[in-house]
Amino acid sequence: MGIISCQMCIFKPPDEVYKQGEVVAGLIKYTILEPVEIQKITTSLKGIGTIVLKVHRGTKNRVTYKSKETLVDIDNIVQDEKMKLESGSHEIKFHFTLPDTIPSTSKICKCFGNFKATCVIKYYIRIKLQGSGLFSIEKHFRKEIPVKSDVAPTLSREPVNYMKSKKLVRLFSSQNGLINIKATILNSALAIGGKIVLHYEVKNDSHVIVKSVQTKLIQAYMFKADGRSAMNYEEDVPSTEAKITSIDSQTTRTECIDIQLPSNIYNLENSKLLSRYYFVRLIAQLPLPHGNVVLNIPVQIGVKENANDNKMAQDYEDIIDDDPPPSYWEVMGEARKENDESSDDDDDENHKSKTKK
CB 154 within 8 Å of CB 104: no
CB 204 within 8 Å of CB 251: yes
Compute the distance between CA of residue 251 and CA of residue 226 in angstroms, rounded to an integer: 51
Stated as kind and residue range, the H or E segment containing 86 is none
Average pLDDT on 183-201 reads: 97
CB 355 within 8 Å of CB 347: no
Check residue 338 and give its pLDDT: 57
DSSP, res 20: T
State in Å, rounded, how far the first CA of the chain is from the last one.
Answer: 18
Asked if the model's pLDDT at residue 254 lies above 70, the reply is yes
Q: Could you tell me the residue ranges of all domains in the chain? A: 3-149+307-356, 160-301
DSSP string, 241-272: -EEE--B-TTEEEEEEEEEEPPTT---B-S-S
Tens digits of residue pLDDT in 68-86: 999 999 999 998 888 888 8
Taking 3-state DSSP, the helix, strand and coil percentages for the chain, each rounded to the nearest 5, stand at 10, 55, 35
Asked if the model's pLDDT at residue 132 lies above 80, the reply is no
DSSP string, 10-42: E---TTS-BPTT-EEEEEEEEEESS-EEEEEEE
Residue type, 116: K
Check residue 278 and give its pLDDT: 99
Check residue 57 and give its pLDDT: 81
Check residue 271 and give its pLDDT: 97
Query: Who wins on pLDDT, 296 or 2?
Result: 296
Check residue 36 and give its pLDDT: 85
Tens digits of residue pLDDT in 135-161: 567 889 999 999 999 999 999 999 999
Tens digits of residue pLDDT in 74-126: 999 998 888 888 899 999 999 999 999 999 999 999 999 899 999 999 999 99
Check residue 265 and give its pLDDT: 97
From the list 250, 244, 255, the residue with the least C-alpha distance to 209 is 250
pLDDT band (50, 70, 90) for residue 321 = low
Compute the distance between CA of residue 256 and CA of residue 192 in angstroms, rounded to an integer: 21
Average pLDDT on 180-204 reads: 97
CB 26 within 8 Å of CB 16: no
Residue type, 46: K
Asked if the model's pLDDT at residue 352 lies above 50, the reply is no
Compute the distance between CA of residue 342 and CA of residue 119 in angstroms, rounded to an integer: 12
Edge to edge, the sheet with strand 251-260 lists 160-168, 177-185, 195-205, 251-260
The dihedrals phi and psi of 308, each to the nearest 5 degrees, come to -65, -20
Domain 3-149+307-356, classified CATH 2.60.40.640, yes or no: yes
How long, in residues, is the chain? 357
From the list 250, 79, 268, 272, the residue with the least C-alpha distance to 175 is 250
Compute the distance between CA of residue 8 and CA of residue 125 in angstroms, rounded to an integer: 9
SS3 213: strand
The answer to which of 153-167, 284-298, 305-319 has the lowest mean pLDDT is 305-319
pLDDT band (50, 70, 90) for residue 233 = very high
**Pairing between strand 160-168 and 177-185?**
antiparallel
Q: What percent of the chain has pLDDT over 70?
A: 84
Residues paired with residue 353 on neighbouring β-strands, in sequence order: none
Query: Who wins on pLDDT, 214 or 326?
Result: 214
Average pLDDT on 191-203 reads: 97
Q: What percent of the chain has pLDDT over 90?
A: 65
Tens digits of residue pLDDT in 334-346: 776 556 666 555 5
CB 202 within 8 Å of CB 284: yes
Compute the distance between CA of residue 347 and CA of residue 332 in angstroms, rounded to an integer: 10
Query: Who wins on pLDDT, 316 or 180?
Result: 180
Q: What is the CATH number of domain 160-301?
A: 2.60.40.640
SS3 215: strand
Tens digits of residue pLDDT in 9-18: 988 888 889 9
Instruction: Tell me, yes or no, if the two domains 3-149+307-356 and 160-301 fold the same way.
Output: yes
CB 52 within 8 Å of CB 66: yes
Stated as kind and residue range, the H or E segment containing 131 is strand 115-131
The mean predicted confidence, pLDDT, of the chain is 87
CB 79 within 8 Å of CB 129: no
**Pairing between strand 189-190 and 293-301?**
parallel
pLDDT band (50, 70, 90) for residue 134 = low
Compute the distance between CA of residue 85 and CA of residue 90 in angstroms, rounded to an integer: 9
Average pLDDT on 229-248 reads: 95
